[in-house]
Amino acid sequence: MKRLTWLAPLLAVALAVALAQPAASQQKVVKIGDLGSKVGVFEGYGKYQSMGIQLAVEEINGKGGVLGHRIEVIAEDDDTKPAPAIRKAEKLILQDGVKLLIGAVSSGSTMAIMDVTKKHKTIHWNSVSCAEFMRTTKFHKYYFSNQPDSRQQATGLAKYILDKMGKKVYIFYTDYAMGQSDGRQFKTALEKLGGEVVGVAGAPLDTKDFSPWFGAINQSSPDVLFLAFAGTDSLRLMTQLHSFGMTKKYKLAGIDCFLLQQDLPAIAEPMEGFVQLNHFSAYNPDPNMQAFNQKFKKKFGVDANIAAGAYDAVYFWKAAVEKAGSFDPDKVSAAHEGLCIDKTHIGRQCIRKEDHQVVMDMHLYRVEKGKNLPIARDRRQGRDRRGHGGPGSAEGLHLGDQEEELAARWTISSRSCCRSSCTASSSGPRWGCWPWA
Amino acid sequence: MSRVSSWRGALVLAALVALPALPFMSKFYLLLAFDALLFGAIAMSLDLLIGYTGLVSFGHAAFFGLGAYSTAILLERGVVSLWACLGFAVLVVGLYALLVSYFATARRGIYFALLTLVFAEVVYTFFRYTQTFGGSDGIQGVPPAQLVPGVAIDTPLANYYAVIVYLALAYALCRVLVTSHFGKVLVAIRENEDRARFLGYNVQRYKMAVCMISALLTGVGGALYPGRSAFATPDLMLWTVSGEFIIMVMIGGLGTLGGPIIGGAFFVLLQEQVSSYVDWYFMVIGLVLVFIVLFMPRGLLGFRRMLGFGQWRATA
């Protein structure tokens, strides 16, 4: 028992060292938290999220900040896992006192930290994760998102696939919240429009070898492969599909965050012809998009991508804070509802009151020679987005004559209409909550 | 235990109980202290196996995760009694530990480690692929457990005190255990298993017993986790978590009980602080571990020599 004498001082020293924090010297500073994957399978998304935030914060600080406060960003890595994500979210909210938390990247982490932001009443913006649970069963009043969720992506893409690519589709997804959600919603949307799902399979997150699933895909002989993966999973999957000759054999489509534009040139050949629906491409000649991209490129030396949507999240929060005239989470939350901002990269964006989801236009893109090129026009505004010219015009837009314009306006009018049939929630058990239920 | 050492134990306990009264102890630090002490207690229960019996378990994360899932599954389905959750966790972890310890203790050394690892991977894979339990997202957003109907353990402070009670009881149990005849036999098995057998001890039965005790203590620790984090995910059972538990024991000092508590707390606090500054915090933790193994081979609380260097005795 002698050793016990060491316990108290050692524990005290360990705690004291760990807890020692530099005293805050700056006055009138408001902190915001940037939580996401900085390393690992979703590293790219987390880094671009940080860049988007940084760009917005520098612009806002340059113009006097928010309500006279200079914004300070505190970034944390969540290790792409729920347990560290929760601990980091608690640190950001309880210790650093952030008034806005942006994150996370992985849907699993985002869902986990939603409990934290709800409990501690903190405005929470999600700009990357797309599982629909965050907008339905886990939704709370402090949560907002400008990342199109699974349902919104599925609706537009399913129609295009049926019209232009084929009726028989095989759905292959990454087996966690995001992939399950994307796969399920795409299946629903496709079948509603008369398409046929010839097979469905899920591979775990961070799978190294996808070939065990290829036999089943080939046996079901689909016209189209719908792929719901992201990050380094997508890179490995495409390389392996290509080496099995399957990227030539089937037409390819997938979710918006399948691969970031920066990754495309490296696997241009396997990705050739891959179709997706999303809200940003550096190769879209639209003036707004090019203006944003130029700004981003000037600052960081690289093109922006969809993960940079966090830029708009900061501006939405700023507008809401200024409208509310305070940082009080209840007032800021209420001020967000129905708020619109203009001249973003995708034009006007508005926050839907019912589920705090940002409504914006989306476009169809197809990968050609490592570039995400637009294949659709926005009918609503009657503007041709396929045109040439404009600042930083995308060189070599090769659009097939057969392509028709397709307005990918989101069709969801309210949250209540779109609750998932799956019963997974914080209030009910998961019995029967299967990916395809 | 001598009267003096009991007083010292009580002093440490009193210091921990009084900790929340310190002015800088915000809610976040209470939650951090919860993690530090919880993983400290788990490292201590693993020390019974590694430090005292000489059995390196690479599957303790499964006991921890199963405890966490047991609680989360009940909480999600509306059973919010803390006692029901703990009872269920003991039952589930106990049955699993019985199976693991029966097969694993039949083998020595590396084979024991491998068998515990294999069993743990099976459990991890089961939960990762079973959508009934949320698949790889796990069970999230569970309500807090209730001590008695109407009294929920829902604040960081309440959770902190819950973990203090658990730590104190677990420490008392382990201390009694290692100072008892049973503990002496464990050390004898570690020092010379054949000799212990020749002396007439049923070695496997002793090994199984200590495995079960260690597993159940870890499982109860796991059962407290969802109360603080509101979730249980398969990541909690990953083999790397088992590795972290072993690192905690090594940092603290093998065969000391108090050492691994400090090792666990040190590991959690180091991880928390370093990861806020750099993305590659595991490198820092790795360097710390290398430093400790090279220069402090008996751990932060190293009164005894490292396992395998002969001569050393773990029990006081």
Cα–Cα distances in Å, from A392 out to A6, A298, B64, B205? 66, 12, 55, 75
What pLDDT is recorded for position B41? 96
Name the nearest CA neighbour of A240 among A260, A211, A219, A213: A211
Please report whether residue B32 resides in a domain.
Answer: yes
Which chain B residue lies closest to A83 (C-alpha atoms)? Answer: B229
Half-sphere exposure of A71 (CA within 13 A, CB side): 29
Q: Collect all residues of chain A within an 8 Å Cβ-Cβ radius of residue B157.
A: none
Which of A88, A140, A184, A430 to probe by mutation at the B interface, max B CB count within 10 Å? Answer: A430
Mean residue pLDDT across chain A: 79
CB contact under 8 Å between A7 and B280, yes or no, is no
B300–A10 C-beta distance less than 8 A:
yes
Is residue A401 over pLDDT 50?
no
Record: contact B301-A3, CB cut-off 8 A: yes
Question: Domain range spanning residue B204?
Answer: 25-238
d(CA B255, CA B48): 7
**Residue in the structure block whose two tokens are 């090129």:** A373
Report pLDDT digits (tens) over A172-209. 999 887 888 889 999 999 999 999 999 999 998 888 99
| C-beta atoms of B231 and A112 within 8 A | yes
| A 348-367: CB under 8 A from B | none
Mean pLDDT confidence for B162-190? 94
Cβ-contact B97, B83 below 8 angstroms? no
Contact B259 A3 (CB under 8 A): yes
> A358 - beta bridge partners?
A351
Nearest by CB: A82 against B19, B235, B261 = B235
Q: Which two tokens stand for residue B81?
A: 């009694």
Selecting from B140, B266, B275 the residue whose C-beta is nearest the C-beta of A112 gives B140
Higher pLDDT, B65 or A45: B65
Residue A27's pLDDT band (boundaries 50, 70, 90)?
low
Inform me whether the pLDDT recorded for B110 exceeds 80.
Answer: yes
Average predicted confidence (pLDDT) for chain B: 88
pLDDT at A12: 52
Given a cut of 70, whether residue A389 has pLDDT beyond it is no
**Same fold? A29-149+289-359, A150-282+361-414:** yes
Dump pLDDT digits (tens) for A231-253: 889 999 999 999 999 999 999 99
Placement of tokens 């609706």 in the chain: A155
Contact residues, B window 23-82, toward A, CB-based 8 Å cutoff: 24, 26-29, 31-33, 35-36, 76-78
Q: Residue B301's pLDDT is what?
A: 67
Which tens digits make up the pLDDT trace of A246-292?
999 999 999 988 888 888 888 899 999 999 888 888 898 888 889 99
- What's the confidence (pLDDT) of residue A189? 92
Cis peptide leading into A104, omega within 30 of 0?
yes
Q: Which two tokens stand for residue B177?
A: 């255990």
Nearest CA in chain A to B134: A430
Query: B116: distance to nearest CA of chain A, Å?
Result: 23
Q: Is it the case that residue A2 has pLDDT exceeding 70?
A: no
Spell out the residues 6+ positions from residue A35 whose beta carbon is closer than 8 angstroms to its own: A75, A76, A78, A85, A88, A89, A92, A101, A102, A103, A104, A109, A113
Interatomic CA distance for residues B116 and B104, integer angstroms:
6
CB spacing of A175 vs B76 below 8 angstroms: no
How confident is the model over A117-155, as pLDDT tens digits? Answer: 999 999 999 998 877 777 777 889 999 998 887 887 888
Cα angle: B235, vertex B65, B203; to 5 degrees: 125
* Cβ pair A84, A64 in contact under 8 A: no
- Does B48 reside within a domain? yes
CATH number of A150-282+361-414: 3.40.50.2300
Which of A16-25, A102-111, A223-232 comes out lowest in average pLDDT?
A16-25
Task: Please identify among residues 168-187 of chain B the ones whose CB lies closer than 8 Å to any CB of chain A.
Answer: 175
∠ CA B154-B157-B163, nearest 5°, is 90
Q: What is the pLDDT of residues B83-101, one digit of tens each?
A: 999 999 999 999 999 999 9
Per-residue confidence (pLDDT) for residue B4, from 0 to 100: 61
Look at A72 and A4; give whichever has higher pLDDT: A72
Question: Looking at chain B from residue 110 to 139, which residues have their Cβ under 8 Å from any Cβ of chain A?
Answer: 128-129, 131-139
Interface touch B9/A38, C-beta < 8 Å: no
- With bands split at pLDDT 50, 70 and 90, how would you rate the model's confidence at A406? very low
The C-alpha atoms of residue A343 and residue A286 are separated, in whole angstroms, by 11
In chain A, the residue whose alpha carbon lies closest to the alpha carbon of B133 is A430
pLDDT attached to residue B307? 43
- CATH classification code of A29-149+289-359: 3.40.50.2300
Taking the C-alpha atoms of residue B48 and residue A339, their distance in angstroms, rounded to an integer, is 59
What is the domain count for chain B? 1
Instruction: Give the confidence band of A43 by pLDDT, cuts at 50, 70, 90.
Output: confident
pLDDT tens digits, one per residue of A352-383: 888 898 888 888 899 999 888 888 544 433 33
Tokens read off for A379: 């009918």
The tokens describing B122, both together, are 């099976």
Q: In a mutagenesis test of the B interface, which of A5, A17, A19, A98 is the best target, namely the one with the most B β-carbons within 10 Å? A: A19
Averaged pLDDT, A98-125: 91
Do residues A285 and A395 touch, judged by C-beta distance below 8 A?
Answer: no
What are the extents of the domains in chain A? 29-149+289-359, 150-282+361-414
Rounded mean pLDDT, A33-62: 90
A139, A112 Cβ separation under 8 angstroms: no
Residue A206: CB atoms within 10 Å = 16
A23 and chain B: CB distance < 8 Å anywhere? no
Q: What's chain A's length in residues?
A: 437
Asked, for residue B77, whether it belongs to a domain, the answer is: yes
Partners of B12 on chain A (C-beta within 8 Å) are: 4, 7-8, 11
Yes or no: say if B226 and B162 are a contact pair by the CB < 8 Å rule: no
Query: Is B107 within a domain?
Result: yes
pLDDT of residue A135: 77
Provide, rounded to the nearest whole percent, the portion of chain A with pLDDT above 90: 44
Chain A residues 149-188 with a CB less than 8 Å from chain B: 175-177, 180
ipTM higher than the 0.95 cut? no
